Amino acid sequence: MERSIYAMDEKVKNAGMQHAGIQSQDVTMEVSMERSISAKDEGVGIQRAVVWTPGVAIDASDLEKFIEFDKGHIKEGLNTNGIRLPGLSEDIVTMAANVLYKMIRGIMSNAEDLEKLRREQIGRIYLNTESTNDKSRPPIEQAIELVSSKLLAEDEGNRWITDMLKSASIAGIFYACRSGGHSLYDAVMSVKNSMRSLDYQGNEMLESALIINVDIAAYDSTKAPRAEATQGSAATAMWITSHPKLERIAVEDGVGHHHDAFADFTKYGSSTPHVPSGIFSEEAFVYECSMAISNLEKEYMRIHGGPVNLYTLDFYSAHVPHPKQPKMLAAPLILHLMRVYEPKKLDGIISKIGAEPYAYFNGFTEMMKKRLESFNASGDKFKEEWEIREALASDSDLNSYWSWLKKFRKEPDVEAEMDRLHLNEAVSINRETGNTYTNAVFISNIAMIKYFAEHPEIGMKKLQQGKGSVDGMLLSYGSGAAADAYLVKIPAKSIMDGGMTERIQIDIDGAVGIKDYSQYRALHESMMREDSISKVVSDDMDLITEDKKLLRTDRLKEGFHVNRMKATGEGAWSYVDDKGNVERVRIRH
């Protein structure tokens, strides 16, 4: 039976014990210490990144009042400062168009990146979301049309860029919270394949890719009242190229995936409101990510013939429905690493909080795995799919272990390890955006790139240690229950050379803050209706005008806005400039 990362293969465990100076009589291979994460020349990853949020901002303390939560529940309890939501004149198409436009204009403003775009033209564009209502086409199709039309209106010389965008292979990936993590692998591999392609004259046929994530997290208070505290929205874009400046996605070292048919925050139904259920959600998140890490470890072993040393990681970015959730995953991960590398420190913790319960299971993950497998048995133990979550949530052994992990993660030595992994810095932007579904892990990852870019002394230290990068892990997770684990590397040379910060565009300002309950309720009720209802209005009605009335402002956030939509999915759009002027976007082919 395959084992989780909390039940390590003896070969991996013994190698790790040797690395920590611990002797073992059961070493089956000659490994004096674990290999560090490899650094191959053929790198593919993120050259530029954009985070963009829509035009309404709500402070956490105000949201607590609006949804009648205890004071401090969101701000202190969930560590969330505020959320961003779209106004009446914003939707998935305008959000995708805005982040794409920001990305293209950013590339055009940098001579080196513009030349790189000429050499590595964008061949694939991925749009990842769970918030679209159009089941026939991905929102990126209309978003590209809007961006292309604006670029051509600015300068006909931009035709080569618009032709490139409209000639790219586009795809809409629908997989709650996890679609971006899935697309990342495909995008990186497509660029890698292009690096091996030659034309008839022997020249490289390089291509790059764009990953765009757009989501709106909004919950019906009558169906999921507690979830209304974890709303939010954002759009992110990442330009995936060869030899990236910001971060390499080290797929050459292996990637871990794992999934189960587990109904965690699933959204069954479209025209009738779905009933999201988050029972056992946090535990499922920890389990699936742990299994993905386990599969990553196995892939690394297959590729390199030796185990990966996860204890050398400098940071990790995980799914962030609220800023405290990554620490829930960090606890069992740190426990796993302490077992191997810091057994004396772990003994000290156990002496204070008590022994790890059910140690014969080798961890929470293996315990849950065995529970899931037991439901396949015949007789009374067999469970229907809809009975599994309830059975897990009421399992006294699992609950006991989970309670112990909560105590473990509050220990000073464990908190110090979380600080070393920069978990607070990793959620610095997520605290302002709220829950952003498939964006969340990438916003966290971009925050880490930005953090290290602003601390050149860390890059210098890495170079002095003979290491070429700041190493981390990216953990994507989504419904039903699926996770992806990537090793990532931020080049130390890029940190030292500078030029990274200008390639990281964070646009979370310019939103209109609302303080009045009636404003929030009207906006929330609009979001509870599908765009095919809320955005389809009569010809004499203009959503930009209605947006200004609701938000009580003369100036909306700069960017694309929708005036109105037709039942066919066709629309009329405008661009609001930085002075608040509204200019219609004329579709130009």
* pLDDT confidence tier of residue 359, bands split at 50, 70 and 90: low
In order of their start, the domains of the chain are 10-34+324-426 (no CATH), 44-307+427-512 (3.40.47.10), 515-584 (no CATH)
Given a cut of 70, whether residue 153 has pLDDT beyond it is yes
Q: Is 569 exposed, middle or buried (0-12, 13-18, 19+ CB in 10 A)?
A: middle
How far apart are alpha carbons 22 and 308 in whole angstroms? Answer: 18
Identify the weakest region by mean pLDDT among 272-276, 316-320, 438-442, 581-585. Answer: 272-276
554-571: average pLDDT = 94
Q: Look at residue 27 in the predicted model and tell me its pLDDT.
A: 29
Highest averaged pLDDT of the listed ranges 75-79, 317-321, 573-577? 573-577
Do the Cβ atoms of 218 and 527 come closer than 8 Å? yes
Nearest one of 189, 372, 396 to 291, comparing CA atoms: 372
In terms of C-beta density within 10 A (0-12 exposed, 13-18 middle, 19 or more buried), how is residue 207 classed? buried
Q: Measured in whole angstroms, how far is the alpha carbon of residue 9 from the centre of its chain?
A: 29
Least confident range from 28-37, 252-261, 323-332, 379-388: namely 28-37
Q: Where residue 135 falls among pLDDT bands split at 50, 70, 90? A: confident
Residue 111 scores a pLDDT above 90: yes
Task: Look at residue 295 and give its three-state secondary structure.
Answer: helix
Digit-coded pLDDT (tens) for 197-232: 888 888 889 999 999 999 999 988 777 778 899 999
Half-sphere exposure of 73 (CA within 13 A, CB side): 15
pTM higher than 0.75: yes
| Res 19 pLDDT > 70 | no
Average confidence (pLDDT) over 514-522: 95
Percentage of the chain lying above the pLDDT 70 cut: 89
Percent of the chain with pLDDT over 90: 66
Residue 132 burial (CB count, 10 A): 22
> Quick one: pLDDT at residue 42?
57
Residues 6+ apart with CB under 8 A from 155: none
Residue 348: pLDDT above 90? yes
Q: What is the pLDDT of residue 450?
A: 97
Angle, in degrees to the nearest 10, between helices 396-409 and 412-420: 70
Average pLDDT, the chain: 88
Tokens matching residue 310: 């996860």
User: Taking residues 563-583, what's their average pLDDT?
Assistant: 94
| Distances in whole angstroms, Cα of residue 397 to Cα of each of 217, 219, 356, 361, 450 | 33, 32, 12, 11, 41
CB 46 within 8 A of CB 239: yes
Give the pLDDT confidence score for residue 5 in this predicted structure.
43
Where residue 25 falls among pLDDT bands split at 50, 70, 90? very low
Q: Measured between alpha carbons, how far is 218 from 525 in angstroms, rounded to an integer? A: 10
Q: Is the pLDDT of residue 437 over 80?
A: yes
Q: Which two tokens stand for residue 97?
A: 């168009």
